[in-house]
Amino acid sequence: MREDVGTTKRGSLSTRRKLAIWEREKGICMLCNTRLMPGKFIYEHVRALEMGGDDTDSNIRLTCVNCATEKTKADHKNAAQAKRTKASTLGLKKSKTPLPFGKGSKWKRKLDGTVVPR
């Protein structure tokens, strides 16, 4: 199975790293700035790994569960859009609905107005 070029591999998040991030963030959610309750938060990448973010402590912040759900949903949406754009730009994906008589169409209109197959 091939990996996407822009995706960074996820490493392990040790207890030592988790404590260091908790101390740095002082137990505050990065999105809504509320004090986090034990067990009601996750460690979230600021720039998503699927968008080329690093798996370093500087890119990991604390997020409450509600904010994390919304952020993850938005990250997946943005990553999917970026991958579609990339595939289209590189010419890897053909349009399912090409313009009539355009280069992707199987028909061609001549200058005199007649329509012929390509």
Nearest to 6 by CA among 59, 72, 51: 51
50 close to 72: Cβ distance less than 8 angstroms: no
Residue of 118, 6, 91, 36 lying closest to 44 (CA atoms): 36
Q: List residues bridging with 28 in a β-sheet.
A: 35
For the segment 33-52, what is each residue's pLDDT rounded down to a tens digit? 999 988 899 999 999 888 88
The pLDDT-based confidence of 6 (bands split at 50, 70, 90) is: low
- Cβ atoms of 61 and 21 within 8 Å: the answer is yes
Task: Check the CA dihedral 92-98-99-105 and report its sign.
Answer: positive
CATH superfamily, domain at 15-117: His-Me finger endonucleases (3.40.1800.10)
* Range from 48-52, 63-67, 70-74, 112-116 carrying the lowest mean pLDDT: 48-52
pLDDT band, very low/low/confident/very high, at 32 (cuts 50, 70, 90): very high
